[in-house]
Structure formats: structure tokens, C-alpha cells
């Protein structure tokens, strides 16, 4: 008799020596349908993972659907909370998998990889979802600032509820960091365009090259619209400000990745050093190999086990993918100075650090200053963080907007800021700073905006659910908020 195999179906990657030969050659080999069905069938249906997903997607619901090979139903369940199924199927850090009860036993359910299959095998979302627009008794106007995942998700859930949505986007493309930041070898652009086209097919308009504060004033939006959602992301680079940062071939990772992702060629020479340890540092390192670097080193100030995202299965996968491609890591170092000649950088002076437990939780890196080290390099990429740029807000609004000491906007349960009618979400509000958290913010904000619009008499009703399409038997949860309770939160 054949016994049931409860082990996780392994996720394969393409050969690292081959995949680094092109900017758009994918890293992960998709599951086959048989693999998806087998993997989904391992799900015990406990639902712990729902708590791990910031958007609280009904994961067991779509595992049951896929265990039955029902791709369309799995797509519909995802869309209750997430209009970026392909994006998250490829690059979500999948915190849901870290809380799976099977994690310590035979391997957590490969939720992200299953989502990838669902999206890549659902050609026409509109035909599958057959969304019926909710009629809320009014069609007010809402402005969204920024066409990143947070702004676009808000646009989706508002549009399908009959709200007129205008999105103001500073660049010539929608997608935010999904296009300008994340490299194509992790996220195929046709998948992103497919999802953005689907979102705007419900009526939201995008005005490109319209930076609020420069091309259109925030005050004008205040006059013209009934509510505003701010989803501008963190686009202001945080630099190290160490000596030598002005050399021509020292880049900030946002500028570096943005230029390469938009088709520009950058000469990096033989050796590239990346300063940092998060998503952006790994992407800057791996993209450098694909544009000609022979040796890439990541220098991070903390220890390997203190890097951003650790401990998580995503952090492990990220490191494995980099190591397979021969990215080298130098942990526990502090750059002192970038050296150079004729305006070009040629090396980094650095100290080694020791990690000190100061009793405040995360260990602190403290430089050991009695010995300096030197690393010859041709290019340096600083992946040392970024912040939101709120200079577009008039002083009267900025003063009233409550912020954290770190510069994030403070919002309530519905992602409304301290200024009534102005909502915010994505990297400028949440702590995790990933796509699924921005999507979760946007779902809450969309509901909050509807509640606000009703409170000012622009619509007659607030829906129980943001989506309104037929679903099959597999969904195990609903996200419904009763009208009266919702209003009391605003
Ligand atoms: C290199 C890199 C790799 C990453 N990898 C991952 C990953 O693997 N998985 C993951 O989940 N997350 C990843 N992230 C994080 C993720 O991309 C962000 O969390 C997410 O994009 C934030 O969404 P957002 O909508 O808040 O902002 P953004 O995506 O930053 O979009 C903001 C948009 O607002 C526009 N904008 C800004 N100011 C204005 C203005 N004044 N007027 C009009 N428009 C404006 C910008 O042009 C942009 O289009 C990565 C980030 C980077 C940089
Ligand atoms: S979006 Fe991410 S966290 Fe949520 S269920 Fe999918 S993989 Fe898990």
C-alpha cells in the first residue's frame, strides 16, 4: 500500500551560473499542477497562517481549492484581500509560512509558491472574477497619491465600489518599487503589468509624471476630492555620509536599481561592494553580477544572525540565492572612508565590529577602532535605507499629521491619519515595509474611506465586504465589518 508523503514538495531554482547571464532570467522554477495539488493537500486547515499574513488572506480556503485543482476559486479567495496575486506569488516574504504548524516537522506549506501557480495560470482575471460593482448610493471622488502597491490596491477596492478614483504618480510608470526597485529576475514585469492593467480596468485613472507638490498642489487635491489616500512610499535615500561618498561610482541602491530596472546601462567594473543587509542590498548585489561584476561583496554592520528579516524562511532563501550566485558576505563591519583617485572610488577602509548586548533587545554593532582594514573596489552601492518625502504637504496639514519619531505617518485602525479624510498606507505607515503589508493597509484604508464618505453624506451605504463576486464552497473566512461598528471607529 502506498503511504501518504507529508513532506514539503521541494522548490527548485534555476542553475545559478545560467540565471546570472540575463537581467530577466527567473530564479525560481514554478511548481507543476501535480506538485501544487500535492503540496496544497498537505494543509491541515488549522488557519494559524492567516494570522501570519498581514492581509489575513484565507490561506486554508485556497489550499482546499488548489488541493481540488480549482485555480479559479483559489484566485477569487486571494482577491478578497489581494489584487497582486502574481506579485506576492513571486516576492512576498511569506511570513505566513513561518507560523505554519508543519514548519518544524516536514516543512511549512509552500503558500507563496502555490500562489505563484494560481496567478500564472489565471490568464484573464476579469473573466474569472466577474466582479459586480457595489452600488453604495453615490460616486464621490477620491485622489490617491502614488501608484505603488498600496495606492493601486486602494484604487482597486474603491473602484469596484463605484468610487471615482484618480491616481497621481510622480514617475512615468505605475507600480512603485515593484517596477523601480525589485529586479526582473525575481519579478517578471509582464506579471506586474497584467495586475496593474486589471486594477485600472475598473475605472481608476492614472495621471503620470504628476508629482504632488510640484506638478499639482496638495491644496488643489483637497479642494477637488472628497478624500485623499497617500501612498508615496519611501523614496528619499538615507546615505552613510562618510568621506568619499561623492565619488562618481558610489551609488545609492534606489538610484542604482531604478536606473538599471529602467533599461540604463551602468559600468560597475570588476568588483562591487554593497553596504547594507536587507532586501535592497541583496538585490543590488545580485543585479551587479548580471551587469558585469566579477566579484560582489556585501558588507553589513551586524552579525549574520542579526540581519534584517532574520529569523525567517525568507531571509534564509534570500541568503541561499545570493550564495549560490557567489555573492560574498562580510559581516560585522563599519565603513570608515571610501578612497579614490581622479574622481573615482577605488576602495573602502573599514573597521571590524563586535556585537554588544546592551539589554535593549537587538545587539548593537560597536567598531573595534584599533585596526583599519582595506578592500579594493570599483563601485560602491549603499543600500542603507530610505525615508518618505513629505515636503509636498502644506505646513497647515504637516503640523496636524502625527508622525512616529522615525518619520512614519501614524494612522488608526482604518489607516486614517490624524487629519480627518486623509488616509495613508504602505511603506510610510507600516513597520514591515513589504508589499503585502502595504496591501493590507490599503484594504483597511479602502473600507475606512467608504466609512468616512458615508459620514460626510457622499454615499448612503458601506458594504459588508469590499468585493462582490460569486464564490464557491471553499472559503473559510469572511472579512466583514458591520456598518455601525465601522462608523464608531472613525
Ligand atoms: C530593492 C527593493 C526590493 C524589495 N523587495 C521586496 C520583496 O521582495 N518583497 C516585498 O514584499 N517587498 C519588497 N520591497 C519593498 C516593497 O517594494 C515596498 O514595501 C512596497 O513597494 C511599498 O509600497 P508603497 O505603495 O508604499 O510604495 P512604493 O512602491 O514606493 O510606491 C510609491 C509610489 O508613489 C510615487 N510617489 C512618491 N512621491 C510622490 C508624489 N509626491 N506625488 C506623486 N507620486 C509620488 C512613487 O513614484 C511610487 O510610484 C523591496 C523594496 C526595494 C527597494
Ligand atoms: S500574501 Fe504572503 S503572507 Fe499572505 S498568504 Fe500569500 S505568501 Fe503568505
- Domain residues for 265? 237-386
Ligand nearest to the CA of 52: 2
Nearest CA to ligand 1 atom 38: 232
Using the mean position of ligand 2's atoms as its centre, give its distance from the Cα of residue 112 in Å: 6
pLDDT of residue 485: 53
Query: Within this chain, do residues 244 and 182 fall inside the same structural domain, yes or no?
Result: no
Give, for ligand 1, the residue of 148, 166, 276, 394 to mutate: max count of ligand atoms closer than 8 Å to Cβ: 148
The verdict on residue 5 lying in a domain is no
Give, for ligand 2, the residue of 430, 436, 437, 479 to mutate: max count of ligand atoms closer than 8 Å to Cβ: 436
Query: Within this chain, do residues 66 and 205 fall inside the same structural domain, yes or no?
Result: no
Residue 351 three-state SS: strand
The verdict on residue 4 lying in a domain is no
pLDDT of residue 482: 47
pLDDT of residue 469: 87
DSSP string, 423-442: EE-GGGT-SS-SHHHHHHHH
Using the mean position of ligand 1's atoms as its centre, give its distance from the Cα of residue 426 in Å: 8
Query: Within this chain, do residues 175 and 120 fall inside the same structural domain, yes or no?
Result: no
The verdict on residue 478 lying in a domain is no
CA dist., res. 281 & res. 394, Å (int) = 34
Query: Within this chain, do residues 247 and 376 fall inside the same structural domain, yes or no?
Result: yes
The verdict on residue 312 lying in a domain is yes
Query: Within this chain, do residues 49 and 63 fall inside the same structural domain, yes or no?
Result: yes
DSSP code for 410? P
Ligand nearest to the CA of 424: 1
Query: Within this chain, do residues 440 and 419 fall inside the same structural domain, yes or no?
Result: yes
Query: Within this chain, do residues 156 and 229 fall inside the same structural domain, yes or no?
Result: yes
- pLDDT profile of the chain (490 residues), mean per 10: 71 98 98 97 94 96 95 96 98 97 90 98 96 94 98 98 98 98 98 98 98 98 98 96 96 98 98 96 98 98 93 95 98 98 98 93 93 98 97 95 96 97 98 97 98 97 89 65 53
CATH at 94: 1.10.1060.10
Q: How many CB atoms lie within 10 A of CB 170?
A: 21
Of 75, 107, 129, the residue at which a domain comes to its end is 129
DSSP string, 109-164: --HHHHHHHHHHT---HHHHH-PPPP--S---EEEEE--SHHHHHHHHHHHTTT-E
Task: Of 124, 36, 113, 112, give the one whose Cα is nearest residue 72.
Answer: 124
List the beta strands (DSSP E) in 181-275: 205-207, 227-230, 236-237, 250-252, 271-275
Sign of CA dihedral 71, 76, 81, 82: positive
pLDDT of residue 240: 93
Q: Output helix, strand, coil percentages for the chain, rounded to the nearest 5.
A: 35, 20, 45
131's CB contacts (< 8 A; 6+ apart) are 160, 202, 467, 468, 469
Closest atom, ligand 2, to C-alpha of 95:
3
Task: Of 90, 235, 211, give the one whose Cα is nearest residue 145.
Answer: 211
Residue 487 three-state SS: helix
pLDDT (tens digit per residue) in 100-142: 999 877 899 999 999 999 999 998 999 999 999 999 999 999 9
The verdict on residue 122 lying in a domain is yes
CA dist., res. 359 & res. 339, Å (int) = 36
The verdict on residue 477 lying in a domain is no
Using the mean position of ligand 1's atoms as its centre, give its distance from the Cα of residue 437 in Å: 11
pLDDT of residue 92: 98
The verdict on residue 11 lying in a domain is no
Query: Within this chain, do residues 346 and 444 fall inside the same structural domain, yes or no?
Result: no
Per the structure, the count of domains in the chain is 3
Query: Within this chain, do residues 253 and 153 fall inside the same structural domain, yes or no?
Result: no
Query: Within this chain, do residues 211 and 269 fall inside the same structural domain, yes or no?
Result: no
Q: What is the pTM (predicted TM-score) of this model? A: 0.96
CA dist., res. 446 & res. 416, Å (int) = 10
CA 192 to chain centre: 12
Of 370, 386, 402, the residue at which a domain comes to its end is 386
Closest atom, ligand 1, to C-alpha of 146:
34
pLDDT (tens digit per residue) in 434-472: 999 999 999 999 999 999 999 999 999 999 889 988 887
Q: Is the CB of 53 under 6 A from ligand 2?
A: yes
Q: Is the CB of 92 under 6 A from ligand 2?
A: yes
pLDDT of residue 360: 82
Nearest CA to ligand 1 atom 53: 181
Q: How many CB atoms lie within 10 A of CB 10?
A: 11
Query: Within this chain, do residues 295 and 310 fall inside the same structural domain, yes or no?
Result: yes
Of 83, 98, 129, the residue at which a domain comes to its end is 129
Q: Is the CB of 95 under 6 A from ligand 2?
A: yes
Closest atom, ligand 1, to C-alpha of 283:
1
Q: Is the CB of 231 under 6 A from ligand 1?
A: yes
The verdict on residue 28 lying in a domain is yes
- With both helix axes pointing from N to C terminus, report the angle between 111-120 and 189-200 in degrees, rounded to the nearest 10: 70
Query: Within this chain, do residues 382 and 412 fall inside the same structural domain, yes or no?
Result: no
125: cell is 482575471
Q: Is the CB of 88 under 6 A from ligand 2?
A: yes
Q: Is the CB of 443 under 6 A from ligand 2?
A: no
CATH at 402: 3.50.50.60
Q: Is the CB of 57 under 6 A from ligand 2?
A: yes
Amino acid at each position: 500500500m502506498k503511504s501518504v508523503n507529508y513532506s514539503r514538495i521541494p522548490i527548485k531554482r534555476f542553475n545559478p551560473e545560467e540565471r546570472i547571464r540575463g537581467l530577466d532570467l527567473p530564479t525560481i522554477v514554478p511548481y507543476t499542477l501535480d506538485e501544487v495539488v500535492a503540496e496544497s493537500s498537505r494543509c491541515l486547515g488549522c488557519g494559524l497562517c492567516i494570522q501570519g499574513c498581514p492581509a489575513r488572506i484565507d490561506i486554508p480556503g485556497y489550499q482546499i481549492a488548489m488541493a481540488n485543482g480549482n485555480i479559479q476559486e483559489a484566485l477569487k479567495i486571494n482577491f478578497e484581500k489581494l489584487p497582486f496575486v502574481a506579485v506576492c506569488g513571486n516576492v512576498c516574504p511569506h511570513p505566513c509560512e513561518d507560523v505554519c504548524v508543519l514548519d518544524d516537522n516536514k516543512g511549512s506549506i509552500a503558500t507563496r509558491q502555490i500562489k505563484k501557480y494560481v496567478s500564472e495560470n489565471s490568464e484573464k482575471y476579469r473573466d474569472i472574477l466577474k466582479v459586480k460593482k457595489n452600488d453604495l448610493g453615490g460616486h464621490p471622488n477620491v485622489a490617491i497619491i502614488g501608484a505603488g502597491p498600496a495606492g493601486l490596491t486602494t484604487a482597486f477596492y474603491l473602484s469596484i465600489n463605484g468610487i471615482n478614483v484618480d491616481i497621481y504618480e510622480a514617475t512615468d510608470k505605475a507600480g512603485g518599487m515593484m517596477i523601480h526597485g525589485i529586479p526582473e529576475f525575481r519579478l517578471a514585469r509582464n506579471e506586474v503589468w497584467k495586475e496593474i492593467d486589471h486594477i485600472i480596468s475598473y475605472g481608476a485613472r492614472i495621471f503620470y509624471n504628476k508629482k504632488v507638490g510640484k506638478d499639482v498642489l496638495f491644496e488643489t487635491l483637497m479642494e477637488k476630492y472628497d478624500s485623499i489616500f497617500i501612498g508615496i512610499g519611501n523614496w528619499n535615500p538615507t546615505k552613510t555620509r562618510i568621506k568619499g561618498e561623492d565619488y562618481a561610482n558610489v551609488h545609492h541602491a534606489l538610484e542604482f536599481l531604478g536606473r538599471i530596472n529602467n533599461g540604463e546601462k551602468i559600468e560597475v567594473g570588476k568588483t562591487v561592494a554593497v553596504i547594507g543587509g536587507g532586501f535592497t542590498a541583496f538585490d543590488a548585489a545580485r543585479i551587479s553580477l548580471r551587469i558585469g561584476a566579477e566579484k560582489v561583496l556585501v558588507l553589513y554592520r551586524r552579525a549574520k544572525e542579526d540581519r534584517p528579516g532574520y529569523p525567517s524562511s525568507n531571509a534564509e532563501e534570500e541568503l541561499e540565492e545570493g550564495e549560490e550566485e557567489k555573492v560574498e558576505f562580510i559581516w560585522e563591519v563599519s565603513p570608515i572612508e571610501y578612497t579614490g583617485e581622479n574622481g573615482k572610488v577605488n576602495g573602502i577602509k573599514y573597521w571590524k565590529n563586535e556585537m554588544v548586548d546592551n539589554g535593549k533587545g537587538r545587539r548593537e554593532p560597536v567598531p573595534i577602532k584599533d585596526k583599519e582594514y582595506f578592500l579594493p573596489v570599483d563601485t560602491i552601492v549603499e543600500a542603507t535605507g530610505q525615508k518618505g518625502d513629505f515636503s509636498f504637504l502644506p505646513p497647515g496639514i504637516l503640523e496636524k499629521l502625527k508622525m512616529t519619531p522615525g518619520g512614519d505617518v501614524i494612522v488608526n485602525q482604518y489607516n486614517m491619519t490624524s487629519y480627518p479624510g486623509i488616509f495613508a498606507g504602505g511603506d510610510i505607515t507600516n513597520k514591515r515595509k513589504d508589499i503585502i503589508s502595504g496591501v493590507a493597509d490599503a484594504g483597511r484604508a479602502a473600507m475606512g474611506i467608504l466609512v468616512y464618505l458615508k459620514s460626510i453624506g457622499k454615499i448612503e451605504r458601506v458594504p459588508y465586504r469590499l468585493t462582490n463576486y460569486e464564490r464557491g464552497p471553499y472559503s473559510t473566512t469572511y472579512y466583514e465589518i458591520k456598518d455601525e461598528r465601522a462608523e464608531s471607529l472613525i
